[in-house]
């Protein structure tokens, strides 16, 4: 099946019932402009493919999709507007229609050149200075996610004051002088950086206390290529993922421990799809924890990660939290989970902000203590210091 057939094979099933719009976070965040909602994306994709040569600007509709998969979980016809968006980004990137997003282009070039979206591969390893790891064919792969949050937060703080067209202009300019991207190392939120590094250290410490032996590749750890995949650069992603795989193979890696849901989903489900020989076991760190916990004196609520609950990946984090505390889930939970808005942070910060504010309010309605299990969720929802990362919360609950 070629790309167009793949897309039409999905969009043809849609009956335009609009059920998906009721859960699609980006629709409300864009004042019900349907092209930013799940049904609108499916209808637009279908129309664009059936009317090629039209001059429609397709980018914003599909790039703004959070890839959360809330839509498919309520769709009576089994249509996944998230996947339609992924494929349509590939269609746009192939030059078939619409304009490429200059920020996306910049990020792509940076990943290919520096193995990190912001050219910060070295900085991404700094958290682990001084930690002793084992010699092992099991490695922890951070995916650079915890490490990048302090930079995106600082960049977005600046962006708030700049017109979006100017931002896109700057992105185009940097793309022509790609080493300039490394300047981003000077823009970070120092407090958040310290916290994110601490979270990673906590994760390592809990795994060690659970008796898990593992290594870390340090500044050799490549960014796994998530943005290439998310932004539709499939040719580049394929080549890049193969490079990452070859590195892991050379190092004799048999098992990967992931610490964030995005990297987990990518390595667990996407890599094997593109690299059939990818035989490396992937396990989420919470599933390796073997610790005794105290009871938390109070209630908590949980922001479940879309890449786990809506993308059908199992993990034990929620069970662990249930065993520790009185958990009060938000009305939208499990298969109706609402995304934190995080994936829109780089390209559509306004939309991301509105979604996170709404979700934060929904969570706070249930409990003051909000636990996130993904660095992106934390970064987007931490409007007060009662929002904590799983690692932060759980490490304090270990019985001594």
Partner 1 sequence: MQKSTSAAVTELISGLGSKKILTTAEELVPFMKDASYISGKMPVAVCLPENAGEIAKILSICNKHRLDVTIRSAGTSLTGSSISGFPGVIISTMNLNRILEINTSSRYAVCEPGVRLDKLNQELKKYNFFYPPDPASSRASTVGGSLSTNAGGLRAVRYGATKEWVLGMDVVLPDGHIIRTGEYTLKRSAGYDLTALMIGSEGTLGVVTKAILKIEPLPESTAKIIGFYKDIESVGKTMDKIKSAGITPLIAEFMDLGTINSIRKGMGLEIPEYTKFLLMVDVDSPLEALNRKIESARNIFKEFTGDVNVITDIKRMDEIYAARKGAYSALLDLRENNNQLIVIGDVIVPSSELAGAMTEIEKCVRDDGVKATLFGHIGDGNIHANIFMDNTEEGRKNMEKLQMDIAKVAITHNGCVSAEHGIGTEKNRLLYEEYLERDSLYTLEIMKSIKKVFDPNNILNRGKIFYEPD
Give the residue, chosen from 7, 25, 29, 35, that forms a contact with partner 1 under the rule CB under 8 A: 35
Q: Of the candidates 198, 175, 159, which has an alpha carbon nearest to the alpha carbon of residue 352?
A: 159
Q: How far is the CB of 395 from ligand SF4 (least distance, A)?
A: 32
Residue 82 near partner 1 by CB under 8 A: no
Q: How far apart are CA 301 and CA 280, in angstroms?
A: 34
Q: What angle do CA 250, 253, 259 make, to 5 degrees?
A: 130
Q: Does 69 bind ligand SF4 (CB under 6 A)?
A: yes
Instruction: Name the 3-class secondary structure at 133.
Output: coil
CB of 361 to partner 1, least distance (A): 14
Q: Which does 9 bind (CB under 5 to 8 A by kind): ligand SF4, partner 1, none?
A: partner 1
State yes or no: residue 13 binds partner 1 (CB under 8 A).
yes
Is residue 81 a contact point for ligand SF4 (CB under 6 A)? yes
Residue 234, Cβ neighbours under 10 Å: how many? Answer: 18
Each residue 22-41 as x (binds ligand SF4 by CB under 6 A) or -, in order, gives -xxxx-----------xx-x
Number of H helices, E strands in the chain: 18, 8
334 is a contact residue toward partner 1 (CB under 8 A): no
Does the footprint of ligand SF4 cover residue 133 (CB under 6 A)?
Answer: no
Of the candidate residues 8, 49, 58, 82, the single one contacting ligand SF4 (CB under 6 A): 82
Smallest gap from Cβ 30 to ligand SF4, in A, equals 11
Distances (CA, A) of 155 to 121, 184, 326: 17, 8, 37
- Closest distance to ligand SF4 from the beta carbon of 94 (Å): 20
Residue 53: Cβ-neighbour burial (10 angstroms; 0-12, 13-18, 19+): exposed
* Cα–Cα distance for residue pair 185/183, rounded to 1 Å: 5
The residues of the shown chain that bind partner 1, judged by CB under 8 A, are 9, 12-13, 15-19, 21-22, 31-35, 37, 39-40, 43-44, 47-48, 54-58, 61, 74, 76-77, 331
């Amino acid at each position: 099946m070629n790309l167009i057939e793949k897309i039409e094979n999905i969009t043809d099933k849609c009956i335009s019932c609009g059920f998906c719009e009721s859960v699609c976070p980006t629709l409300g965040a864009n004042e019900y402009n349907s092209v930013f909602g799940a049904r609108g994306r499916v209808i637009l994709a279908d129309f664009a493919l059936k009317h090629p040569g039209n001059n429609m600007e397709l980018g914003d509709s599909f790039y703004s999709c959070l890839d959360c998969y809330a839509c498919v979980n309520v769709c009576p016809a089994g249509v996944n507007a998230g996947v339609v968006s992924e494929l349509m980004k590939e269609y746009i990137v192939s030059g078939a229609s619409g304009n490429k997003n200059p920020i996306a282009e910049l990020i792509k070039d940076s990943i290919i050149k520096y193995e990190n979206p912001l050219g910060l591969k070295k900085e991404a390893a700094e958290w682990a200075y001084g930690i002793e790891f084992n010699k092992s064919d099991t490695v922890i792969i951070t995916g650079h996610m915890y490490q990048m949050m302090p930079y995106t937060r600082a960049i977005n703080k600046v962006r708030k004051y700049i017109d979006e067209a100017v931002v896109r202009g700057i992105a185009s300019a940097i793309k022509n002088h790609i080493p300039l991207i490394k300047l981003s190392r000077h823009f970070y939120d120092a407090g958040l950086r310290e916290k994110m590094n601490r979270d990673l250290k906590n994760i390592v410490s809990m795994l060690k206390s659970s008796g898990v032996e593992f290594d870390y590749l340090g500044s050799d750890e490549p960014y796994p290529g998530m943005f290439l995949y998310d932004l539709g650069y499939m040719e580049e992603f394929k080549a890049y993922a193969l490079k990452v795989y070859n590195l892991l193979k050379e190092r004799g890696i048999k098992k990967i421990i992931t610490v964030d849901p995005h990297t987990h989903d990518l390595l667990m489900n996407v890599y094997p799809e593109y690299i059939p020989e990818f035989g490396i076991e992937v396990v989420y760190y919470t599933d390796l924890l073997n610790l005794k916990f105290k009871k938390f004196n109070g209630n908590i609520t949980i922001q479940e990660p879309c890449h786990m609950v809506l993308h059908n990946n199992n993990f034990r984090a929620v069970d662990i939290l249930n065993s520790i505390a009185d958990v009060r889930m938000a009305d939208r939970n499990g298969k109706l989970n609402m995304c934190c808005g995080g994936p829109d942070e780089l390209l559509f910060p306004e939309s991301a902000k509105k979604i996170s504010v709404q979700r934060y309010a929904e969570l706070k309605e249930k409990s003051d203590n909000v636990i996130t299990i993904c660095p992106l969720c934390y970064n987007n929802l931490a409007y007060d210091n009662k929002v904590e990362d799983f690692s932060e919360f759980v490490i304090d609950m270990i019985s001594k």
